[in-house]
Amino acid sequence: MEVCRTVGEVRAAVRRHRERGAKIGFVPTMGYFHEGHLSLMRRARAECGAVVVSIFVNPLQFGPREDLAEYPRDLERDLRMAREVGVDVVFTPADEEMYPPGYCTYVEVLGLTEKLCGLSRPGHFRGVTTVVAKLFNIVQPDVAYFGQKDAQQAVVIQRMVRDLNMPLEVVVLPTVREADGLAMSSRNVYLSPEERQAALVIPRSLARAVEAVKGGERNVAVLREMVRGMIAAEPRAQIDYVEIYGWPDLEPLTVLTDRALLAVAVRFGRARLIDNVVLEV
Amino acid sequence: MEVCRTVGEVRAAVRRHRERGAKIGFVPTMGYFHEGHLSLMRRARAECGAVVVSIFVNPLQFGPREDLAEYPRDLERDLRMAREVGVDVVFTPADEEMYPPGYCTYVEVLGLTEKLCGLSRPGHFRGVTTVVAKLFNIVQPDVAYFGQKDAQQAVVIQRMVRDLNMPLEVVVLPTVREADGLAMSSRNVYLSPEERQAALVIPRSLARAVEAVKGGERNVAVLREMVRGMIAAEPRAQIDYVEIYGWPDLEPLTVLTDRALLAVAVRFGRARLIDNVVLEV
């Protein structure tokens, strides 16, 4: 496995794989790997001749009062895990490699980013689309893999790729969960044991909504208030949002007709957790 | 010469040239060719195994009160001229091919775009960088050619390419002028014979500034007022801006020390003409 620090290095590494005819699979990450990341790498490994993973905690997608400084990092452990999965190339650039002095170019998806996490984290998606556009241009993959855990990010990136005619395919894979249902997230390390237990209200409330839809409930406000009420009843939970939008266009809904995204963001102590489920009628 | 209307067609055409090992040269244009465009195509022809030209009057880079509707178009003439120069592929998409319903992604270069034409044409450069990013992703050229006549556009695109790590080289070629010095522009057709004659004050005033610098003048305000005064003395001229900035970073200057861009935008009737010269100390 090659570990590259510069754009030039990773481009040379990818070129060697491309010249031997390999399809290039790419998994962009912020590191501190869990099974969610590994599931993306395994799928890339199964589908592509070469697997490239980036590890970059992108400062541009963190707000001034967010957790950039304390975001968990463990490069040695990440490299070990990537090697075990059979990754070919890891790109882990310094901040200055990605944003040199005088940097001033941004990629922005409007509309889709003006709700959910786009409201609670102004500038977040501009940071995401900018860094992902850069990474796509650097790696030039045939396929890029993202997790459904970040559902809004996934549709925003798919829209960017479609709108800007980026020459690659975006694959979105299911959220990986702990045995008790909590969605895997690098930010779960922020949780105290009590908060970790309390956070189970998130997957439970999502499951309750799925059951209600199965039972015939179609009223979006009713479903939303059911989930909101369950989470609000947990004293350690502080709701950021509980919303239901059409899937995958995130259009406003009052009645479920087809597919809808039930998405939540909830704080437990200093951890802001997100999770979602696609409700299908 | 292949003429392609869709993204799929032009991608297939470029792929055939790439598979035979050709270096891909690309000239993005809004059509209505003059010698300036042709000089870019000839250079691409000399340097590349395949030459792709796009003809697209990009609505996104026109303001609501600008000349989108009357911008001159003559596709038959353009195709004939491109064929004569030896262009391999022309891409001339419909608006809906480039901006399908629901389109919502934009590329923006800050700083460099907040002066000169960026002030008089709000949103113009966002439209330029967005369409050029799309065209680069569609054509995937090795080299793209732009004219120094649009000096600010050239540095904005070079910055976008550098910042977003786009895998191509940008070449900027000199402004092509009529025998009497007027910079070639598709918009020159808007000029009445009297306006055409009056517009010569632009190249004359730029030449006067070059002479003054040769004569030792280093004071930016003096040079700017000299040009402004000459143009203002022409009754048919309506000055949009006359500015001097550092070249190529467009930083503010009070004294010439190295290279500087003297750039002007002037209206004659319904024609808004731009021109520039790089002053060298």
B213-270 tens-digit pLDDT: 999 999 999 999 999 999 999 999 999 999 999 999 999 999 999 999 999 999 999 9
Alpha helix positions (H), chain A: 7-19, 35-47, 75-85, 95-98, 117-120, 124-139, 151-163, 193-198, 201-214, 220-232
Residue in B100, B21, B117, B9 with CA at minimum distance from that of residue B54: B9
For A189, A197, A269, B94, the CA distances from A193, given in Å and listed in that order, are 10, 6, 11, 58
A192 touches chain B (CB under 8 A): no
pLDDT per residue as tens digits for the range B101-118 = 999 999 999 999 999 999
Mean pLDDT of A46-61: 98
A101 touches chain B (CB under 8 A): no
- Indicate the residue of A7, A104, A133 with minimum beta-carbon distance to B109: A104
Out of 3.10.20.30, 3.30.1490.20, 3.30.1300.10, 3.40.50.300, the CATH code matching A186-276 is 3.30.1300.10
For A39, A218, B22, the CA distances from B47, given in Å and listed in that order, are 45, 62, 10
Domain borders along chain B are: 2-173, 186-275
Note the pLDDT of residue A41.
98
A98 Cβ contact partners less than 8 Å away, ≥ 6 residues apart: A56, A58, A131, A134
Identify whether the C-beta of residue A267 lies closer than 8 Å to the C-beta of residue A240. yes
The pTM of this model reads 0.97
Tell me if A165 and B103 make a contact (CB, 8 A cut-off): no
- Indicate the residue of A106, A109, A137 with minimum beta-carbon distance to B104: A109
Q: Which of A9, A24, A105, A132 to mutate to test the interface with B (most CBs of B within 10 A)?
A: A105
Percent of chain B with pLDDT over 90: 100
pLDDT per residue as tens digits for the range B1-24 = 999 999 999 999 999 999 999 999
Taking the C-alpha atoms of residue B262 and residue B220, their distance in angstroms, rounded to an integer, is 10
What confidence category does residue B119 fall into, taking pLDDT thresholds of 50, 70 and 90?
A: very high
Note the pLDDT of residue A175.
98
Q: Based on the residue annotation, tell me whether A37 is a catalytic residue of this protein.
A: yes
The mean pLDDT value of chain A amounts to 98
Element holding B138 (H helix, E strand): helix B124-139
Mean pLDDT of B193-209: 98
Note the pLDDT of residue A81.
98
Tell me if A110 and B103 make a contact (CB, 8 A cut-off): no
Tell me if A137 and B166 make a contact (CB, 8 A cut-off): yes
pLDDT per residue as tens digits for the range A195-228 = 999 999 999 999 999 999 999 999 999 999 999 9
- A111 contacts in chain B (CB < 8 Å): 102, 104
B166 touches chain A (CB under 8 A): yes
Note the pLDDT of residue A113.
97
What is the ipTM for the molecules in this complex?
Answer: 0.96
Architecture of the CATH domain A2-173: 3-Layer(aba) Sandwich (3.40)
Note the pLDDT of residue B9.
98
- Indicate the residue of A105, A111, A167 with minimum beta-carbon distance to B107: A105
Q: How many pairs of residues across A and B have Cβ atoms under 8 Å apart?
A: 76
Note the pLDDT of residue A227.
98
Mean pLDDT of A268-276: 97
Note the pLDDT of residue A198.
98
Identify the CATH class of B186-275: alpha beta
pLDDT per residue as tens digits for the range B63-90 = 999 999 999 999 999 999 999 999 999 9
